[in-house]
Homo-oligomer: A and B are copies of this chain.
């Protein structure tokens, strides 16, 4: 048994959809969440920059005595997971592998679509992981840069969002995919609009759900699960505390009492 918290980080607030799944599936586990709200988004930035920011965050999370780390950001998982794993000996899992394994289990015709940020698509990480699992799979990717701002604008079930989703997904649908990975943590929030565009014959994969399941396995395998108790969650951000709290309260099933602003520059090498 180990009651230390799980470190969860994201470029901003999107990773709260992953934190929410961990809270649901692993209610005894405390979370230390970090959202890099001063430097968000990561999805349009380079591998070098995303890796540097992620390394700083790992150093910060280590000061909070976390027993495992979840990279709750597809772009950071896609670009930086190998490098940041070198920063620490504790288990560290990203969202890409769990999402890819679930997509492989789900597909019948072997044709999988990935929608994600520009960075995640450019990295080609989902395709590489999927082909590693099964070289026969065919993977089709599409960057959807307007989805995050549409979610942040709150236009979740809007005619404009539908029109933009229709445009982004048109080519993917012509490839006859039967499985679509929501490869950015914001996308589950417009899941219904995306499902309407692709139709009920395409199964949507939410890596947040799969990542929480993968985390449970890692904790059990390493004897790191917390005992039965009331978990306590703490939140850290690099920009405004109040704006984060408002958004978090709309997503999480818990109160968001402890939020602190952190100056990330002190975690540079």
Contact = CB atoms under 8 A, between A and B. Distances in A.
A227 to B, nearest CB: 39
A243 B146 contact: no
A153 B46 CA distance: 17
A27 interface: no
A39 interface: yes
Interface residues of A, number: 25
Contacts of A153: 145-146
A54 interface: no
Interface string A140-163: 000001101110110000001001
A268 interface: yes
Interface string A246-269: 000000000000000000010010
Contacts of A160: 160, 163-164, 167
Contacts of A150: 146
Interface in A41-58: 44-46, 48-49
Interface in A211-248: 238-240, 243
Interface string A47-73: 011000000000000000000000000
Nearest to A267: B265
A45 B238 CA distance: 10
Interface in A8-52: 37-39, 44-46, 48-49
A146 B148 CA distance: 10
Interface string A158-175: 001001100100000000
Interface of A: 37-39, 44-46, 48-49, 145-146, 148-150, 152-153, 160, 163-164, 167, 238-240, 243, 265, 268
Given A45-B240, A49-B240, A145-B149, 8 more contacts: A37-B45, A38-B39, A38-B49, A48-B239, A146-B146, A146-B150, A149-B149, A160-B163
16 contacts: A37-B45, A38-B45, A45-B239, A48-B240, A49-B238, A49-B239, A49-B240, A145-B152, A145-B153, A146-B150, A146-B153, A149-B149, A160-B160, A160-B163, A163-B163, A265-B265
